[in-house]
């Protein structure tokens, strides 16, 4: 259960972030949601009884804004879910400097900056849990997504390093590594082509695309006291993709 725990979720307005917010609310968490889509975020927060603050996760002042807001509202942050991210396609020939820099800024640097700010709060309050949304492409080679794969590999290593550094301070840090998950981002990638979506599903050992709720369930577990002896893990939620 997450009853009464204060959870800050980035990229909370759609897909995995929205599914996580809904599951956390159902399990009694106090929600602090952030993202760039203010209309969707405010509507979701109102529906779930949480709070929303619009923010660009890549902006340098965002960690201070979010942590200040959290402290003003609740005086603590028990759970941080680093879900916000971007996927820009391209191999080593076609990945531009701009694509590389944007991917690393959003997927790695922004995640690190917010985690650093929240870890300071968690140390002061006696502990907490951070869950980073990486990817199965952080565990195996990415195809036509060089920057994305490199960024998610960095997230996995950042997770392990932070877990090691802060375990004695009772701050647990884990990652989930989703495979192909049926979100708006994936459907854009597939150009909403039913044939392409079916092919992607058929290529997964379990024979279907992931659902946002599948990933949310893993995030909720790692955030909860049921995972009290788990830190530094990178949990694949990919239907078996990274096992073959």
Return the HEC string of the chain: CCCCCEEEECCCCCHHHHHHHHHHHHCCCEEEEEECCHHHHHHHHHHHCCEEEECCCCCCCHHHHHHHHHHHHHCCCCEEEECCCCCCCECCCCCCHHHHHHHHHHHHHHHHHHHHHHHHHHHHHCCEEEEEECCHHHCCCCCCEHHHHHHHHHHHHHHHHHHHHHHHHCEEEEEEEECCECCHHHHHHCCCCHHHHHHHHHCCCCCCCECHHHHHHHHHHHHCHHHCCCCCCEEEECCCHHHC
Report the distance separating Cα 78 and Cα 3, nearest Å: 11
Q: What b/e readout covers 109-142, taking b as 16+ CB neighbours within 10 angstroms?
A: bbbbbbbebbbebbeeeeebbbbbbbbbbbbbeb
Is-catalytic flag, 21?
no
| Annotated catalytic residue within 85, 148, 197, 215 | 148
Q: What does the block give as tokens for 225?
A: 């006291």
Which active-site residues does the annotation give?
A: 148
């Amino acid at each position: 259960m997450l009853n009464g725990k204060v959870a800050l979720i980035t990229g909370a307005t759609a897909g995995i972030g929205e599914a996580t917010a809904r599951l956390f609310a159902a399990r009694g968490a106090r929600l602090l949601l952030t993202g760039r889509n203010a209309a969707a975020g405010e509507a979701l927060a109102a529906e779930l009884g949480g709070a929303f603050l619009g923010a660009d996760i890549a902006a340098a002042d965002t960690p201070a804004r979010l942590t200040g807001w959290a402290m003003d509202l609740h005086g603590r942050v028990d759970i941080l879910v680093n879900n916000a991210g971007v996927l820009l396609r391209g191999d080593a020939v076609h990945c531009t400097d701009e694509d590389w820099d944007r991917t690393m800024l959003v997927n790695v640097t922004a995640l690190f900056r917010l985690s650093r700010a929240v870890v300071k709060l968690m140390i002061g309050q006696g502990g907490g849990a951070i869950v980073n949304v990486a990817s199965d492409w952080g565990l195996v080679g990415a195809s036509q997504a060089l920057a994305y794969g490199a960024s998610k590999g960095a997230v996995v290593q950042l997770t392990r390093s932070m877990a090691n550094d802060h375990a004695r301070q009772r701050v647990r840090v884990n990652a989930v590594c989703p495979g192909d998950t049926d979100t708006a981002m994936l459907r854009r990638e597939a150009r909403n082509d039913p044939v392409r979506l079916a092919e992607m599903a058929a290529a997964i050992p379990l024979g279907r695309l992931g659902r946002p709720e599948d990933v949310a369930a893993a995030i909720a577990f790692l955030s909860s006291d049921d995972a009290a002896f788990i830190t530094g893990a990178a949990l694949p939620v990919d239907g078996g993709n990274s096992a073959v």
